[in-house]
Amino acid sequence: MPSSYQAPSRKDKMQATTHSQSSQTNTTNEAASVRKILASKGQEVFALRPQNTLLEAAEMLRDKRIGALIVKDAAGELQGILSERDIVRRLAETPGETLKQTVGDIMTRNVEVCGPDDPLISLLRKMTEGRFRHMPVVENGAVVGMVTIGDVVNYRLTELEYESLQLKQLIVG
């Protein structure tokens, strides 16, 4: 069975290695922030308008292989968020009539947002307490990215793996 982590061997030292974290990022007192995730993930945001149909939204979710979409008005202002869960719940409530409904009919209007400099720990708390997995990143009133709970967990796992490697090198080295 493959493993996501394999301890380093002596042969590994002969090859050039790269890390998503560095000794500098792991030894600073600075808390990991949303900006660090966006720097590696990118800031591409997929959006639609409230008048789009749920069929259009479902197709975009499928084609982009994502779990949520930002909803903006014609001026580009954040109006809400629409997730796969929202669509599935509406499918159960209105079978056979769902896909022609509009995004504005079911989107979440009171969207929890974060800023690029927010610490990741605060995002994890908000997402866990609010039971949602996607959070738009807003800076100066504009959406500049989207962070998922998976992004935050993956960042922390990578951080822990790198810290573990550093400790092993100190012990062995």
Residue 43 has pLDDT above 50, yes or no: yes
In this predicted model, what pLDDT tens digit does every residue of 93-128 receive, in sequence order? Answer: 999 999 999 999 999 999 999 999 999 989 989 999
Taking CA 127 as the corner, what is the angle to CA 125 and CA 131, rounded to the nearest 5 degrees? 120
pTM, entire model: 0.73
Specify the DSSP element, H or E, that contains 144: strand 142-148
pLDDT for res 13:
54
**Residue 59: what are its φ and ψ, rounded to 5°?**
-65, -40
pLDDT for res 78:
95
pLDDT band at 162 (very low <50, low <70, confident <90, very high): confident
In angstroms, the CA 156 to CA 20 distance is: 11
In angstroms, the CA 70 to CA 51 distance is: 13
In angstroms, the CA 158 to CA 20 distance is: 7
